[in-house]
Amino acid sequence: MQGPLAGTLVLDMTRALAGPHAAMMLGDLGARVIKIETPTGDDSRGWGPPFLGEGEERESTYFMSANRNKESITLNLKTEDDKDVLRRLVKRADVLMENFRVGVLDRLGFSVEELHRLNPGLVILSITGFGHDGPEASRAGYDQIAQGEAGLMSITGSEEPTKVGVPIADLLAGMNGAYGTVAALYERERTGKGRVVRTSLIASVVGVHAFQGTRWTVAGEVPGLSGAHHPSIAPYGLFHTQTAPIQLSCGSESLWTAFAAALDLDATDPRFATNGDRVAHRDELIAIIEEKFATAPAEHWLELLSAAGLPSGKVRTIDEVYEWEQARSQGLVIEVDHATKGRLTLPGPVIRLDDQPYAGSRETNIAPPTLGQHNESVRRWLDETEE
């Protein structure tokens, strides 16, 4: 085991995506992550198609996206024997992650007070849908609901509110949970005490409103659907060519001047002289650019824009991304050996340390586990460490 979190034990009691993603991030950095599942398994094990295999042997590709570098054990916390296994694990753990609805762990006998009685240094990550308190704390949290409730869908799309193509509220909550957990572990080095780290799906979405948020809080403007173009910068967005769409960004006046020269446009045209002018006359500018772009294929324009120093790029499909040499050079595609499915290709960790040629902190990544794959080995380890 390698990495900055080597020697850290994480109990992942979460399911679906937000919590599992947080735990996976710590696993990528070298932590030992034990995923604690009900006897029927994480909900996402049943989310498909697509699946690999058939019947009881099938594995969900959705589950595989958030559970690399983990072990799996099954516990029925309605039985005293399995509750005792959890207590033994808690005493040895550094982190416990949960995303139950508010009050569920308390009813199972594992309140924050009880967990810290068992292990005063335990860092507890709690991820909820709408926050652990407030008038709507009891609501169940699902990604698309949070995208709508937290305003993201109101600014996404062209003709009607549209969700992001990945469960971004879940993923952001997982990322926020992971960095909050690492901060609490760092604090524990000074205090010796653990604490509860809390985040939620709505907090994570509101937290990335960025300039769209201050458009309202500072300027009093209510943002609307922005489609494929930036609401505050022009030209910045997706444009159609003779063969395929491309994207470009003129994020400064010098870039606008270079772009205008490359396309033989008048950079001093009063309609487009400043970014404010271009935003005000965006539709006219888009029409002029697309008329130009319609005369040649995408490759021609990408070469021309690149030569002029303009930020630009193609719109790749998912399969093209995983075949892209630049993505592979960053360790974003990994190979793992699955317990029942053999060699698999997965998306890889996103952090590289020093100059290592692989992403994450491990020379060898661990495949997402089958349900209860490590029941015996984890219990054996508990027995051995207690002896």
Positions annotated as catalytic residues are 170
* Token pair for 326: 């630049």
Q: How far apart are CA 40 and CA 9, in angstroms?
A: 24
Q: Are the C-beta atoms of 225 and 161 separated by less than 8 Å?
A: yes
Q: How far apart are CA 209 and CA 108, in angstroms?
A: 36
Q: What is the DSSP string of 305-347?
A: HHHTT--EEE---HHHHHH-HHHHHTT-EEEEEETTTEEEEEE
How do beta strands 342-347 and 312-314 pair?
unpaired
Q: What is the DSSP string of 137-186?
A: TTS---HHHHHHHTTSGGGSSSSS----SS-HHHHHHHHHHHHHHHHHHH
* Token pair for 313: 């790029």
* Token pair for 217: 């809080």
Q: Which of 216, 214, 198, 208 is nearest to 168 (CA)?
A: 208
Q: Are the C-beta atoms of 194 and 122 separated by less than 8 Å?
A: yes
Q: Could you tell me which residues come within 8 angstroms of residue 182 by beta carbon, excluding any fewer than 6 positions away?
A: 5, 26
Q: Are the C-beta atoms of 55 and 138 separated by less than 8 Å?
A: no
Burial class (CB in 10 A: 0-12, 13-18, 19+), 245: middle
What is the rounded radius of gyration, in angstroms, for the C-alpha atoms of the chain? Answer: 25
Q: Which of helix, strand or coil describes residue 10? A: strand
Question: DSSP assignment, residue 99?
Answer: -
Q: Which of 122, 112, 116, 125 is nearest to 92 (CA)?
A: 122
